[in-house]
Amino acid sequence: MSRLALVTGGTRGIGEAISVNLKEKGYQVVANYGGNDAAAQAFTERTGITALKFDVSDYDAVQSAVAQIESDFGDIDVLVNNAGITRDTTMHRMSFEQWDQVIQTNLASCFNTCKAVIEKMRQNGFGRIVNVGSVNGQAGQYGQVNYAAAKSGIHGFTKALALEGAGKGITVNAIAPGYVDTDMVRAVPEDVLKKIIATIPVGRLGNPNDIARSVLFLVSDDAGFITGSTLSINGGQHMY
Active-site amino acid positions: 147
Main-chain phi, psi angles of 206, to 5 degrees: -70, 160
**Amino acid making up residue 89:** T
d(CA 104, CA 110): 9
d(CA 153, CA 137): 8
**Amino acid making up residue 182:** T
Residues 176, 233: contact at Cβ < 8 Å?
A: yes
User: At CA 217, angle to CA 159 and CA 136, rounded to 5?
Assistant: 50
Residue 76 DSSP one-character state: -
CA nearest neighbour of 10 among 59, 52, 42: 52
DSSP string covering 33-44: ESS-HHHHHHHH
Provide the pairing of β-strand 78-81 with 28-33.
unpaired
State whether residue 57 is helix, strand or coil.
Answer: coil
For 10-21, give one letter per residue: b (16+ CB within 10 A) or e.
bbbbbbbbbbbb
For the chain, how many helices (H) and strands (E)? 10, 7
